[in-house]
Each structure stands twice: as C-alpha cells, then as structure tokens.
Structure 1
Amino acid sequence: MNLKDILVHIDHRPTCVSRLEVAVELAKQQQAQLTGIYIIPHPHFAVNQPSRQELADKAEQLFNEAVDAAGLTSDWICVDSQKSELNVPTALNIHAHYRDLLVISQTDEEAPDRATPNDLPEKAILGSGRPVLIVPYVGDFKHEFKRILMAWRGGPESSRALHDSMPVLRTGRKVKVITVQGRDGDESYLSHKADICTHMARYQLPLSCEKQLSGSLSVGDMLLNGCTDFGADLLVMGATSQSRRGYQTLGDTGRHILKYMTVPVLMSH
C-alpha cells in the first residue's frame, strides 16, 4: 500500500526549498495528496518583518506553484500561533496525527530562526506519532529514493520504522539492512534465531544484509559511514528516547544523526 497523505512544513527558512522538493517527489512517487502547513508566528517572533498575513500568502503561493507544476492533489493548512495558542512543534504534531508522514528539515544551527526552535525535528519525532522524514539543510535531494539503508537493532522502534517505511522500501532499487551488534546495538540476536532479513525477503525487496560489530565508532557514525559506502539516498531508522532531567529526549544515536546527517532520514518512534 502506498502513502496516501503527506504533510510538509512550509516556512521562510532557506531549507524550505529542498524540503518541499523532496516532499513533492515523494508524493508523486507514492501518488499521495500533499498538504502544506504554515504556522503564522506569534508577533513576538515577527518584529521588523512584513505583515504576518503577507508572509503567509507568500508561503501558500510557493507551495501552490510547486504542487501545480507537479500535478499533485493538494491541501493547505494555515495556523495562527497567536489565535490558536499553538507553537510550531505543537501545531505540526497535531496535524501530523491525521497524516501518513511528516516532512521537515534538519536544523541549521548556524542560521537560527526565532520562530522555529532548534529542537523541532526532535519534538516532531517524539510527539507526532507518525514517521518523520528529515531533509538535510545542505544538498540537493530531488531524486527518488532508490538506494535505501535500513538500520535495525531488534527493538520496537526499529520494527515501527521498518513497517512505516515499507511503501518507500518497496519502490527502492537496492535496500541494505545494517544490524549493529555490540555496545548500544542489537543484543537480542543472542536470545533467539529471528532474522529481520528473512521477514523482509518475503516482500521480495531487492535486499542485502550486513551485520557489523560496534567498536571504537559510535553507532551513529557507523550508520553515516554506511550511507556513504552504500551510496544511500535515504536512511531509515527507529528513534529511541531517554529521560533527561525529567524530559523525554531522543537517544544518543538519533541525536547524533539529526546533527550530522548527510542524506534524508526517515525516523519512527
């Protein structure tokens, strides 16, 4: 089954261009409706800017031009932060609950935006309840996802990511599964004989599998190196969480990938 309903965040950051291009290409590939969502920032974040409604109209025009050129079925959502009392992460998460997938951008920490928190990707992954596709802030990613690297660690997050991403995996030309064994990796292989590649092969995916032992490199760095070695144009992985000072945050590997990603990443929690 294809993805049917994709949500993409639209704003005025430079990263919006590549984010929208990826969302449009994925919607075309999946024959899905693409919905753009724009959050009008609170006046506190819009000092010395054109009128908030004028900016919203420009964002809608950008979105409409992209979907019209692609011949997509589309919808538009505009949320006023002041009237709704919803900040950007909360508004995105609420509307993502009603979609198949949310598309956002990696945070460029060297180009901060007052209206968009730096931890938006983390809050979306933990709070949307849906798979989140994060597009790097540097690079050209208009192509379809044909070489896909799947990270597997034998837990519920990996299982969720695998099945969330199956519509995309089934369109790939090559799918490679990396299982990391050892510190912070897949320890469950010691207690049973289940092999995720046996399950995935039943979908007749163009599949290859590899098990690696974690050594001096972190799991995050091993996955990034794996993307480079494989020539991956998409990384799929589960996102674990942990409690820090009473707050839920992503695990170390997820946070590392969000900071240093070089290809789009589909994460599920």
Structure 2
Amino acid sequence: MGCLSLLVHLDHDPHCDARVALAARLAARLDAHVVGLATVGTLELDGPFAASRAVHDAATARDAAAIRAAHSIDRFQTLCRSQHVASFDAEAVEGDSAQALLHHAHTADLTVISQARHLRDERHFVERVLMHNARPTLVVPRDCPPEGSARRILIAWDDSAGCARAVADAMPWLQAADEVALRIWRRSGEPGEAAIRHRLEGVAAWLARRGVKTQARVAEATHAIGAEILAAAARLHSELVVMGTYGHSRWTERIVGGATRTALSHAKVPLLMSH
C-alpha cells in the first residue's frame, strides 16, 4: 500500500486543533501525508466601484483573513510535529471554503472537517462537503477525545452503496484496528431477518479476506437508527464510526437523511462517511 494522503480543513474555529490533532494521529499510525488547507476568500477589484470605501473594507477584511490563515497554518505545523507526522504541508488559497476543499479533496484519500454547531452556515458547509466529496469525509466532533486514534471501530452497515464505499475507503484503518464491530439494525418483527443475517455474514467474510476480523451482529432497533448507532458507539467505546450518507431531492436542494443528520448533530466520536 502506498502513502495515504489526508486533507484537513484549517480555519480560526477554536475546534480546529481537535481535527488537526486527530488527523495527525491517524496519519502517524499509517505513515500518511497530511495537507492543511486554509482559505482567505476572494476580492474583486473590477468595475466602477473599485475605488470605493466598500472595496477598501473588503480588502481590509481579506488581509485579516490572510493573517488568520497564516496563524492556522502555523498551528497546524506545530501539531503535526508534536504528533511525529513525518510528512505534511499546508497552503492558503482564495475562494469559497467548501469549494476549495472539495477541489483539493480529489487528490486526497480522506478529507477531515469538524462537526457543525447549530448554525445554518456551518451545517450547510458540512452537508455540502459530504454530499459532493468524491472521496470519504471524516467528521470530527467538537468535543473529540484527545487520545482517540481509531483502534476500536464500529461499522454501521445498512447495505447501501454509500456504506459499502465508506467501508472500502476506511480499509487502511480497519486493517490497523484492534477491534472492529460490524452492526446492522432491524425493527422487532421486521421480516427478512434470516436474509439480513446472511448478508451480514457475507460482509464479515469479505472483510476477513481483507485481513479485518469483525464482531458481527444483527441488532434490534428500538429507537431511531441514528440514535442506535451513537448508543452502540458509546457502549463499545468506539473511537471511529464508519457509515454511509445519502441525500434525496427536495425541489432543487439535496439534504441528508435522518440517520445521517442525527449522527452528524450528536456524535461524540469521529464519523468516516462516504456518499
């Protein structure tokens, strides 16, 4: 296996350190390369208002953003060194944060962002990255434990294409994990239990052929699936949850599903998600 590459979103959010530190720990375990990406916005100077006070104010704001980006990069480099990451670099680019991150994600094996607070812009950023990222996304909770390094992993299997991609994308970390729990949830009395169990056994066998030993179980769901996933992660002391995400059209908007939204809003452990 060649060198993996992790892309980390850098900003002046107080929780940026948590996402960088986790990415650094994951990279150090697998000798991966880490790229930090900060954005400084754009400034248009064309048109009849180029000399106006508005442009001056915009330029001042952009300069301030550039200073914050430089600080974020310095902090990123310090954290990578403290975690003994052998290979890392960072850059500041112009443009919309989500768009820039998605563009750079095309050449990364994993994109690392933070869980959104209850702010519309932050939720939109996270969902936009999840829904349009061609590569897997790692969503780091805002109160992420400082010592986690994905040694205990929960796979929340739902037999969807997104989940299958997430498991394949997580393979390097699954192969390096100490414990991997494989779960699928069904409602009490729901038909097809034998078929579900047989399917899960097939997933476990596929993982075993890849060198991943799992503890596979069909679990009964008494609450919403998102809540069941998070409860299982807490019960198993999981340091990473692997799951798919999905969207559906509502007029012209793409939104994530209920289980995904619950996990994104309330997770206490990192989520590795693919679409």
Give me the TM-score of the superposition, normalised by structure 1: 0.87
Contact 2:42 2:62 in 1 (8 A): no
Counterpart in the other structure of 2:175 = 170
Q: 1:2 to 1:165 in 2, by over 3 A?
A: farther
Q: 1:50 to 1:5 in 2, by over 3 A?
A: same
Letter in 2 for 1:106: Q
Residue 19, structure 1, aligned to residue 19, structure 2: yes
Structure with larger Rg: 2
Once the two structures are TM-superposed, the CA of residue 205 in structure 1 deviates from its matched residue by 2.1
Residue 124, structure 1, aligned to residue 129, structure 2: yes
Residue 93, structure 1, aligned to residue 106, structure 2: no
Q: 1:203 aligns with which of 207, 210, 214?
A: 210
Once the two structures are TM-superposed, the CA of residue 119 in structure 1 deviates from its matched residue by 2.0
Q: Distance in 2 between matches of 1:130 and 1:187?
A: 33
Letter in 2 for 1:168: W
Once the two structures are TM-superposed, the CA of residue 47 in structure 1 deviates from its matched residue by 7.8
Give me the TM-score of the superposition, normalised by structure 2: 0.85
Letter in 1 for 2:142: Y
Contact 2:182 2:215 in 1 (8 A): yes
SS state at 2:176 partner: coil
Of residues 67-76 and 130-139 in structure 1, the stretch that sits farther from structure 2 once superposed is 67-76
Residue 4, structure 1, aligned to residue 13, structure 2: no
Counterpart in the other structure of 1:84 = none
Once the two structures are TM-superposed, the CA of residue 150 in structure 1 deviates from its matched residue by 0.3
SS state at 1:232 partner: coil
Task: Give per-residue Cα distances to partners, 1:3-49, cap 9 Å, x unaligned.
Answer: 61110011100110101100111111121110000011457899879
Q: Distance in 2 between matches of 1:226 and 1:45?
A: 48
Counterpart in the other structure of 2:259 = 253
Residue 34, structure 1, aligned to residue 73, structure 2: no
Q: Distance in 2 between matches of 1:22 and 1:53?
A: 25
Contact 1:2 1:31 in 2 (8 A): no
Residue 106, structure 1, aligned to residue 130, structure 2: no
Once the two structures are TM-superposed, the CA of residue 204 in structure 1 deviates from its matched residue by 3.1
Once the two structures are TM-superposed, the CA of residue 58 in structure 1 deviates from its matched residue by 1.1
Instruction: Provide runs of 4+ in structure 1 moved above 4 Å.
Output: 42-50, 185-189
Alignment of structure 1 residues 126-141 onto 2, 5 Å: 126-141=131-146
Q: Work out the number of aligned pairs and report it.
A: 258
Once the two structures are TM-superposed, the CA of residue 99 in structure 1 deviates from its matched residue by 0.7
Task: Give per-residue Cα distances to partners, 1:59-94, cap 9 Å, x unaligned.
Answer: 22112222233242112221122xxxxx11111111
Of residues 128-137 and 203-212 in structure 1, the stretch that sits farther from structure 2 once superposed is 203-212
Contact 1:153 1:186 in 2 (8 A): no
Task: Give per-residue Cα distances to partners, 1:186-219, cap 9 Å, x unaligned.
Answer: 979748944211211222323101102333x000
SS state at 2:122 partner: coil
Runs of at least 5 residues in structure 2 that lack an aligned partner in the other structure: 44-56
Q: Distance in 2 between matches of 1:135 and 1:105?
A: 5
SS state at 1:170 partner: helix
Q: 1:150 aligns with which of 140, 155, 162?
A: 155
Greater share of helix? 2
Q: 1:265 aligns with which of 251, 271, 275?
A: 271
Of residues 31-40 and 116-125 in structure 1, the stretch that sits farther from structure 2 once superposed is 116-125
Q: Distance in 2 between matches of 1:98 and 1:41?
A: 22
Counterpart in the other structure of 1:179 = 184
Residue 214, structure 1, aligned to residue 221, structure 2: yes
Alignment of structure 1 residues 207-246 onto 2, 5 Å: 207-215=214-222, 217-246=223-252
SS state at 1:262 partner: coil
Q: Distance in 1 between matches of 2:113 and 2:230?
A: 20
Counterpart in the other structure of 1:62 = 75
Q: Distance in 2 between matches of 1:234 and 1:210?
A: 18
Runs of at least 5 residues in structure 1 that lack an aligned partner in the other structure: 82-86
Once the two structures are TM-superposed, the CA of residue 142 in structure 1 deviates from its matched residue by 3.4
Contact 2:98 2:128 in 1 (8 A): yes
Task: Give per-residue Cα distances to partners, 1:116-173, cap 9 Å, x unaligned.
Answer: 6332221111111111011101132333211100011112111101100010001111
